[in-house]
Amino acid sequence: MATLNEKKTCSERMENFRRFVWNPETRLFMGRTLINWVWISLYYLAFYVVMSGLFALSIYSLMRTMNPYEPDYQDQLKSPGVTLRPDVYGDRGLQIYYNVSDNKTWEGLVTTLRTFLAAYTPAAQRLNINCTSDTYFIQDTFDGPNKTKLSCKFTSDMLQNCSGITDPTFGFPEGSPCFIIKMNRIIKFFPGNGTAPRVDCTYVGDESRPLEVDYYPMNGTFNLHYFPYYGKKANFKTSFLNCYSNPLVAVKFLNITRNVEVKIVCKVIGAGITFDNVHDPYEGKTLLKNTCKE
Amino acid sequence: MVKEASEMGSTNSSSKAWHVVYKIIKIWNVMIIEAVPDVHHNTKTLFLLQKKSDVYSVEDLWDKRSRKTDIGDEEEKYKDLKGNKKKKAEDLKKEVELDDHKLSASELEEKYGTSVNKGLSSARAAEILARDGPNSLTPPKATPEIVKFLKQMVGGFSILLWIGAVFSWISFGIQLAQGAESPFDNLYLGVVLALVVILTGIFAYYQEAKSTNIMASFSKMIPQQALVIRDAEKKELPADQLVVGDIVEIKGGDRIPADIRLIFTQGCKVDNSSLTGESEPQSRSCDFTHENPLETRNIAFYSTTCVEGTATGIVINTGDRTVIGRIASLTSGVGNEKTPIAIEIEHFVYLVAGVAISIGVLFFIISVSMRYKILDSIIFLIGIIVANVPEGLLATVTVSLSLTAKRMAKKNCLVKNLEAVETLGSTSIICSDKTGTLTQNRMTVAHLWFDNQIYSADTSEDQTTQPFDQSSPSWTALSKIVTLCNRAEFRPGQENLPIMKRVVVGDASETALLKFAEVILGDVMSIRARNRKVAEIPFNSTNKFQLSIHETDDPNDKRFLLVMKGAPERILERCSTIMINGKEEPLDSEKAEAFQTAYMELGGLGERVLGFCHLYLPEDEFPDTYPFDTDSMNFPTSNLCFVGLLSMIDPPRSTVPDAVSKCRSAGIKVIMVTGDHPITAKAIAKSVGIISATSETVEDIAKRLNIPVEQVNRREATAAVVNGMELKDMSLQQLDEILCNHSEIVFARTSPQQKLIIVEGCQRQGAVVAVTGDGVNDSPALKKADIGIAMGIAGSDAAKNAADMVLLDDNFASIVTGVEEGRLIFDNLKKTIAYTLTKNIAELCPFLIYIIASIPMPIGTITILFIDLGTDIIPSVALAYEKAESDIMNRRPRNKRKDRLVNEQLAVYSYLQIGIMQSVGAFITYFTVYAEQGFLPSTLLGVRVDWENNAINDFEDSYGQQWTKYQRMYLQWTGYTAFFVSITIQQVADLIIRKTRRNSIFQQGLFRNKVIWVGIFSQIGIALILTYGLGHVTALNFTPLRFQYWFVAVPFAILIWVYDEVRKLFIRRYPGSWWDKNMYY
């Protein structure tokens, strides 16, 4: 095989590069004449304008096909996620740590709860109606104002001892803290198949004694009249005024083990709600690590 | 046959002056005159190295003065040849000191502790074997396998991928230290990237090893056997078991198994061509004829062939210590340099790596300045690198090349070095041997002259009849002489073979005559049997005739028939009559004139002419019982009756003229380099078209205009026939001038060493040079050439070792097929690369937009690897099967400096046009999937930080629904899958448009290349398997995608096709236009 060795020195390379950038003899700038650069730029400009147009057109027609009230598919939302407040996340999920005797450690948690419950004051809920029936609140028509659908009221007082009204510290100084459990909204999701889904909290693993929990409202159920959710556009919502508010369940752990980290799982039990997805720790349940110091 | 050494003196004296740089140790100069009026010179020169010279060169002699002026240049030029040759030079010196040829047989017996009759004892032989090692040439020192393997791991894109892997591990380390939730993703990514590098490396290594193995097996195909006397018994032994002192017997047809000092010979002739280049067989005897071991007749050299006769000899050198072994080891000194395709691929790798690194660094800076965390920025950088590197491409190129190599092997071109496949395609000059390559390598009767008329004979490879007029009684007489005055015989047991293929014992001319007679007359052997031979004088170089006396097959005719053949002028001298139309007529001056004219004419065609005459001996003088004595010649040898002339030539192969004209239209210059006589060389060159019918040499013009040669305007002559002797005295400038100014060149009577000068001359013109060769001395030229082509049949092992390619059928036409394949693969590699590069943009854009617009990640790094190494592999290989768009043999060879494999147009068109279209199509699918699941495009912008936040498990979509982190991740993977599917679908369109670069797909035929469809189906099949089969394996990030999303990108796929058709239409419509210049790659 032959030698095609063309070793160039650095200065030669630089010179070649300089010549490539501007060649005074052929009047080539980076391998093209200036007019040629203009042409090619114009061509690419036109090309990209057309491509952008096509993109815009495609997005426009995509939007035209979209239903404004509900998405076409809910492939990933077969079962709702469950979240907990206060939501302090550590490296491995929810980790709540506080010292009963040191109010600095739990003041933040209390504030989080208070802020969260601000959306559930009667004032914030004033546009919603009072519901009494214990069945699904099915609306086929738009009965609300501005062609919206109505939502049931959920006010923080329904959480009784954990409402922050009777006990503004949510039981933290006593070592029996309140946590608020919320189920994620899914459009036209009917949980429980006629019976109200309820929250059930237990220790994970083998603990010496069972966890004693007070549930608010009674039995820790989400009343069926808060379901189904009809979507943002139907259940009108502004940033300062929640028309549809997720129903809540508050849990108060009465005999939580002190001074060690305990793992607690709060499951929402009801037909249609699964909590056995190994990949998703927050589907149908919420996992919590709690360390309560004295 | 006469051997002369008339020029020995002069050449040796000039060699003495050569002590500065080059040292010639030996020049063989043999002139062979055989029955041709103009002497046939065959110069064979063998240059070996002497200890003092630190440069090995096989440069032939140049004029001393011009050498002195050029010396600076030469030193420059040969710098690369300099090196640690001292040790080898030392070895060679020993060879020069060889004195076995001077010793007598008994002295030899003593020296080697052997006995001529009994040979060595087995035990002693085993001892020596253990001491000296086997009698085989050590193959050129190969690179250790592990080094070859590691080279594959760090070459090309591997470095970039290693960087990616290292970055992955670094970020894994950082994340692990920070205690992040899922740091193992990056560990896995790093492992996957490393695996990709290692696997592609293993693959490339395996491919390379496989093609090397083909060669290895090729050279080992025939294990050589030798007949040895050991323990007083004759034994067949593998030749590599021979040791010094062994007594071996050789016979006609054998390859000499070692360097042998002959102690007994019988009519032994050896073909030294593998040592010295083209040659006539040389006779060997036991006599010490020359001081120099290379020249004396009583030594036969390893790897040469015994043509006829038998001999017995003592092995004096084995293995690497043989003369040939020393030359072979020198050849490995000429370094292997990069092939054109390797340079092209390197250029391409630089280009892509440049793009990858600059975009990577640019976006690293952008992301850092956009206040992304450094760790995130590093992860982006990995993504960008992975997206930019076509991981599968180098493997694809290797596969494509080896597919072509396989295809070429079927067409008798065995490619040793995969990359040589393409080199052949860019060849612009072929320096071809004559004998065996352009010609059939066998003497064949071409013309006959009898009855004052010249007849032409059929010289094709598979003649079964001869068409010329055979009705004349003169022909009957002539045919009888041809049949009887001939010692050649067919080897028995070949009755079923075609006549032309049968093996004959006898020299080339006699063989030609025997076969000629067999074709016309049928069973020659039985004719000879019916005409019993009573006396014979074999051909010898003093008489220059051959004579035999036969009984006739006519039972009524008791006369003896004396037949004679030989050099025409000698035969004519002995004749007093000439046969015209069966009648003997007196040979007057007019008829002698006619003879001279015919003789000159046939000689002028470069043919070897033989004269034939006969005489019926009168019955009364020579009765039945007459004791013929060949020594005293008690029978008439003059006043014979001249019957006719036959002329023979080694005729061109019938496929060659066509192949040469193909080369010509392909812009490839064919130069003939031969050791033959200029007249013969020119005649063959003319008949195969190397010198076209209309072109003239300077000498022709001079003859036509009747002016001295010096007055001819050299520019007018398109053809040139350069004699090796002239070449010797030429300066480099003069040679360059000849190579430049003449389009049709024949180098005649060149030594194999001069080939190297010619090759270098061609390379100075910037040409890519292919050289054919078969002898050991051709090896340097074969190595020096851009592509060395060794002859598979006639070639020596050393030549095959030095070559990049082996022609299994020794046929020039196969080279042309190879050129065609080489050009095709270059075009097709362009297509493959264009195909592969396109989707890089569709893989890269997601990262860029992800960084800038903070949308959820559209495609994952692992997914990209699945495209690059999964769906795209088979389609890109399929492009290697694409047929040529136009007649690729009608365009000039590619200019290796200008016509790059990956040029600006290709990169720009793939990256900035088709790639962008693909990206748009893929993004539309991405947005469609997200929108239909609840995230409208407007919601997605700027959402990245929250989207990826593990602490947000009630992330709200456009419809007010809330998503946990895992639900969002799953949607993101669905997005990956959708993006992947869209790229795959659009790559189908990309694959179809890449079938052609200029023609419409409909001109090329959508279904002609079936492999493309295999590619398309495999692509879609793999995508289906990944999506639906492996959709549940979370680590792979594929999800079972809703079926309709497969079709979202289809309009864009169609758009790509239509756009490309329009591009090609304009290219065809407006050649040379702005569009053509910018859009044709």
Concerning whether B433 is annotated as a catalytic residue, the answer is: yes
Of A66, A89, A185, the CB nearest to B962: A185
The arithmetic mean of pLDDT across residues B434-442, rounded, is: 81
The arithmetic mean of pLDDT across residues B614-627, rounded, is: 86
User: What's the pLDDT score for residue B274?
Assistant: 61
What is the pLDDT confidence band of residue B75, given thresholds at 50, 70 and 90? very low
Is the per-residue pLDDT at B140 higher than 80? no
User: What's the pLDDT score for residue B836?
Assistant: 92
CA distance A83 to chain B (A): 6
CATH class of A82-292: mainly beta
Tell me if B368 sits within 8 A of B147, measured CB to CB.
no
What is the pLDDT confidence band of residue B843, given thresholds at 50, 70 and 90? very high
Does any CB of chain B come closer than 8 Å to the CB of residue A81?
A: yes
Is the per-residue pLDDT at B744 higher than 60? yes
Q: β-strands B453-456, B955-956: how paired?
A: unpaired
Count of CB atoms situated within 10 Å of the CB of B47: 25
Nearest CA in chain A to B419: A1
Tell me if B1022 sits within 8 A of B870, measured CB to CB.
yes
Is the per-residue pLDDT at B162 higher than 60? yes
Does any CB of chain A come closer than 8 Å to the CB of residue B339?
A: yes
Chain mean position to CA B717: 31
Does any CB of chain A come closer than 8 Å to the CB of residue B937?
A: yes
The arithmetic mean of pLDDT across residues B851-871, rounded, is: 90
Does any CB of chain A come closer than 8 Å to the CB of residue B950?
A: yes
**Which string of DSSP letters, residue by residue, matches B946-976?**
HHT-TT-SSEE-TTS-EE-HHHHHHHHHHHH
The residue among B845, B954, B1047 with the most chain A CBs within 10 A of its CB, best to mutate, is: B954
User: What's the pLDDT score for residue B137?
Assistant: 72
When the pLDDT of each residue in chain B is averaged and rounded to a whole number, the result is 81
What is the pLDDT confidence band of residue B66, given thresholds at 50, 70 and 90? very low
Closest to B571 (Cα-Cα) out of B618, B609, B616: B609
Q: β-strands B429-432, B669-673: how paired?
A: parallel
Does any CB of chain A come closer than 8 Å to the CB of residue B916?
A: yes
What is the pLDDT confidence band of residue B709, given thresholds at 50, 70 and 90? confident
Is the per-residue pLDDT at B620 higher than 90? no
Of B763, B966, B974, the CB nearest to A2: B763
Tell me if B855 sits within 8 A of B944, measured CB to CB.
yes
- B residues 1023-1052 lying closer than 8 A (beta carbon) to A: 1034, 1042
Is the per-residue pLDDT at B110 higher than 80? yes
| Omega before A228 within 30 of 0, i.e. cis | yes
- Identify the top-confidence range among A225-239, B85-99, B862-876: B862-876
Are residues A231 and B961, on separate chains, in Cβ contact within 8 Å? yes
The arithmetic mean of pLDDT across residues B386-407, rounded, is: 84
B769: which chain A residues are within 8 Å (Cβ-Cβ)? 2
- B residues 800-839 lying closer than 8 A (beta carbon) to A: 804
pLDDT, one tens digit per residue, over B769-823 is: 999 877 666 777 888 888 888 888 777 666 777 788 888 888 888 888 888 888 9
Are residues A282 and B964, on separate chains, in Cβ contact within 8 Å? yes
Rounded percentage of chain B residues whose pLDDT exceeds 90 = 22
User: What's the pLDDT score for residue A113?
Assistant: 92
Does any CB of chain B come closer than 8 Å to the CB of residue A209?
A: no
Rounded percentage of chain B residues whose pLDDT exceeds 70 = 86
CA distance B954 to chain A (A): 6
Return the H-helix or E-strand segment holding B364.
Answer: helix B340-369
The arithmetic mean of pLDDT across residues B326-333, rounded, is: 58
Rounded distance between C-alpha atoms, residue B406 and residue B410, angstroms: 6
Of A51, A93, A280, the CB nearest to B920: A51
Is the per-residue pLDDT at B1066 higher than 90? yes
User: What's the pLDDT score for residue A293?
Assistant: 85
Query: Which has the higher per-residue pLDDT, B443 or B96?
Result: B443
Residue type (1 letter), A114: R
Are residues B954 and A184, on separate chains, in Cβ contact within 8 Å? yes
The arithmetic mean of pLDDT across residues B515-526, rounded, is: 87
Are residues A76 and B788, on separate chains, in Cβ contact within 8 Å? no
Rounded distance between C-alpha atoms, residue B1074 and residue B1063, angstroms: 12
Nearest CA in chain B to A89: B951
pLDDT, one tens digit per residue, over B998-1039 is: 999 998 888 889 999 999 999 999 999 999 988 777 778 899
User: What's the pLDDT score for residue B47?
Assistant: 32
Phi, psi of B1079 (to 5 degrees): -110, -15
What is the pLDDT confidence band of residue B84, given thresholds at 50, 70 and 90? very low
B923: which chain A residues are within 8 Å (Cβ-Cβ)? 55
Chain A / chain B CB contacts < 8 angstroms:
163
User: What's the pLDDT score for residue B504?
Assistant: 84
What is the pLDDT confidence band of residue B564, given thresholds at 50, 70 and 90? very high
Compute the C-alpha angle B623/B624/B626, nearest 5°. 65
Nearest CA in chain A to B1059: A47
Length of chain B: 1081
Domain ranges across chain A: 12-64, 82-292
- Among A217-226, B7-16, B133-142, B714-723, name the one with the lowest average pLDDT: B7-16
The arithmetic mean of pLDDT across residues B16-22, rounded, is: 32
CA atoms lying within 13 Å on the CB side of residue B271: 21
User: What's the pLDDT score for residue A13?
Assistant: 80
For tokens 């189908």, the residue is B988
Does any CB of chain B come closer than 8 Å to the CB of residue A63?
A: yes
What is the pLDDT confidence band of residue B544, given thresholds at 50, 70 and 90? confident
For tokens 């070692």, the residue is B258
CA distance A168 to chain B (A): 25
What is the pLDDT confidence band of residue B489, given thresholds at 50, 70 and 90? confident
Q: How far is CA B55 from CA B21, B58, B89, B320, B734, in A?
A: 6, 10, 9, 20, 24
pLDDT, one tens digit per residue, over B233-283 is: 888 888 888 888 888 888 776 778 888 888 888 888 887 766 665 456 778
Report the SS3 class of residue B682. helix
User: What's the pLDDT score for residue B111?
Assistant: 83
CA distance B213 to chain A (A): 19
Rounded distance between C-alpha atoms, residue B775 and residue B791, angstroms: 9
The arithmetic mean of pLDDT across residues B810-838, rounded, is: 89
CA distance B690 to chain A (A): 25
Catalytic residue among B240, B271, B433, B810: B433
Of B180, B804, B927, the CB nearest to A91: B180
Closest to A68 (Cα-Cα) out of A207, A233, A287, A243: A233
User: What's the pLDDT score for residue B610?
Assistant: 92
Per-residue pLDDT of chain A in tens (294 residues, 90 and over written 9): 443 444 567 788 888 888 777 877 777 777 778 888 899 999 999 999 999 999 999 999 999 999 998 899 998 898 999 999 888 887 778 888 888 888 888 899 999 999 999 888 888 888 888 888 888 988 888 877 777 888 888 888 888 888 888 888 898 888 889 999 999 999 999 988 888 899 999 988 766 778 889 998 888 899 999 988 888 888 765 555 557 888 999 999 988 888 888 889 999 999 889 988 888 889 999 988 888 887
Are residues A75 and B1042, on separate chains, in Cβ contact within 8 Å? yes
CA distance B613 to chain A (A): 54
Is the per-residue pLDDT at B88 higher than 50? no
Return the H-helix or E-strand segment holding B992.
Answer: helix B965-994
B971: which chain A residues are within 8 Å (Cβ-Cβ)? 76
Is the per-residue pLDDT at B45 higher than 50? no
User: What's the pLDDT score for residue B181?
Assistant: 60
- Among A211-215, A246-250, B325-329, B499-503, name the one with the lowest average pLDDT: B325-329
A75: which chain B residues are within 8 Å (Cβ-Cβ)? 933, 974, 1042
> Could you tell me where the beta strands, DSSP code E, fall in B679-827?
719-723, 744-748, 769-773, 787-791, 805-807
Does any CB of chain B come closer than 8 Å to the CB of residue A9?
A: no
**Which string of DSSP letters, residue by residue, matches B611-639?**
EEEEEEEPTTTS-TT----TTTT-S--SS
